Structure 1
């Protein structure tokens, strides 16, 4: 098979863009007509000029508009319960978020965020015992989630890039919601007290977020600090650590913007 130099391909594209016909360019450069046709098709697809299936542009590579609120939510879901997978049998990697079947609304929100961030890509749900894996396929997942790497998240450094940090600072509540929907929860604690000789039951809500990665915990608490939510670490002997939001004003703020899973 003959390999054509990059300069030859660029000459061909220059002539084609100027209006030359495929056969004319093939004769002039001594390149097979099929090769010229393929070069032209790829060039037109990259510029979004092909009819039918649209070219899938990337916000990072091509400057396509990005819904930053949806991305902040999806980023937190990925950091909590997500994985980037590249199977040998598939040419395109996938982002997989595992969602418990007890929370169908969460699953819908996850799928909606994927479709918003990747409007031209395939999104599906794969049923597993007690859960569904919500998946999106894209060649640009590495661009959008640079935190991916070998090994488990808690065994490698996790830090946001500058452009991600800007998005999170502009959309902290969406970022927090993604964390609560992945590795967090809203629960109602209760206690009893004796008042005027009568035993009374008192209930109070709290928010918890549990993760093994110290870096991911710092990203979560930094977002809480940005929104004015008071938090504290709970005492635990296990490897995973839990951040608690228990003060009444802070819980009310979380209820206003986050609420329980559904």
Structure 2
């Protein structure tokens, strides 16, 4: 990894010398020099915001929601891979996941791996566990998932972004219906409902806590589903997170 001053010096030398000469003088690989000369990435990937003490905001809160919903971190020899599985039917959400990754880690190379009905958005970095300390062996519902104090502070400041990540990964907006007898006549009523489904009781509890932060009424409709079904609650959630697209 090369810092910005090294890159600037190398580009200046490339105006007068060959790749081999500039590589010898600066210690920069010829491959990196070719990339810079062709207009490749203009700056080195950002340092870890947790390690450097930088501020994390809405983009991180949203990415945290996506990670808890449909995200996974796996270890490779020299880095960790963050992967978020997205429904291929919602291209805007796929774009949002990629944008959130790039904003949390400027300069990252983000890949899209396609499978039937799914697009996995992934990026490699050795610092992903710093940002997502919930990472661990096994599936998330088989181990405790507890937010760190600093993560809770971010969610408290950006609850809408966090809920957007949660509901746009493991949630849906459905239309339910029921029938009632009015003046002797059976009538059908349709109404919208937001639902968040996750096998992890800890993640469901975190979702409920975030809904409480924005005064959205919820209930647990079955052992793994949280529902928002009041008219006011659905309207509020629509306003905060928008529809899936």
Q: TM-score, normalised by structure 1?
A: 0.74
Secondary structure of 1:109's match?
helix
Q: Which region of structure 1 is more displaced relative to structure 2, 247-256 or 195-204?
A: 195-204
> Which residue in the other structure is 1:245 paired with?
228
Does residue 178 of structure 1 match 2:168?
no
- Listed as ranges, the matches of 1:142-157 within 5 Å are 142-157=129-144
| Structure 2 alignment gaps of length 5 or more | 1-23, 29-41
Q: What RMSD over aligned residues (CA atoms) do the two structures have, in Å? A: 2.0
> Which residue in the other structure is 2:14 paired with?
none
> Which residue in the other structure is 2:63 paired with?
74
The 2-side partners of 1:61 and 1:181 are apart by: 29
Does residue 169 of structure 1 match 2:152?
no
Does the 8 Å CA contact 1:59/1:65 hold for their aligned counterparts? yes
| Structure 1 alignment gaps of length 5 or more | 1-33, 39-51
Secondary structure of 1:97's match?
strand
Instruction: After superposition, give the CA deviation of every residue in 1:75-114 in whole Å (9 maximum; x if it has no partner).
Output: 01101100101234xx221100000111111111111111
Tell me by how many angstroms 1:215 deviates: 0.9
Does the 8 Å CA contact 1:78/1:97 hold for their aligned counterparts? yes
Secondary structure of 2:208's match?
helix
The 2-side partners of 1:169 and 1:156 are apart by: 24
The 1-side partners of 2:222 and 2:136 are apart by: 30
The 1-side partners of 2:172 and 2:107 are apart by: 32
> Which residue in the other structure is 2:194 paired with?
207
Does the 8 Å CA contact 2:62/2:161 hold for their aligned counterparts? yes
Q: How many residues align?
A: 208
The 1-side partners of 2:158 and 2:134 are apart by: 19
Tell me by how many angstroms 1:197 deviates: 4.5
Tell me by how many angstroms 1:200 deviates: 3.0
> Which residue in the other structure is 1:56 paired with?
46
Closer, same or farther in 2 for the Cα pair 1:182/1:55, shift >3 Å? closer
Instruction: After superposition, give the CA deviation of every residue in 1:169-206 in whole Å (9 maximum; x if it has no partner).
Output: 10111111111011111101122334345443311001
The 1-side partners of 2:196 and 2:98 are apart by: 22
The 1-side partners of 2:160 and 2:234 are apart by: 13
Tell me by how many angstroms 1:53 deviates: 4.1
Tell me by how many angstroms 1:65 deviates: 4.3
Tell me by how many angstroms 1:260 deviates: 2.7
The 1-side partners of 2:229 and 2:180 are apart by: 19
- Listed as ranges, the matches of 1:55-204 within 5 Å are 56-66=46-56, 68-88=57-77, 91-204=78-191
Instruction: After superposition, give the CA deviation of every residue in 1:144-190 in whole Å (9 maximum; x if it has no partner).
Output: 11110111111111111111111011011111111101111110112
Q: Comparing both chains, which one has the higher relative contact order based on Cα–Cα distances under 8 Å and sequence gaps of 6 or more?
A: 2
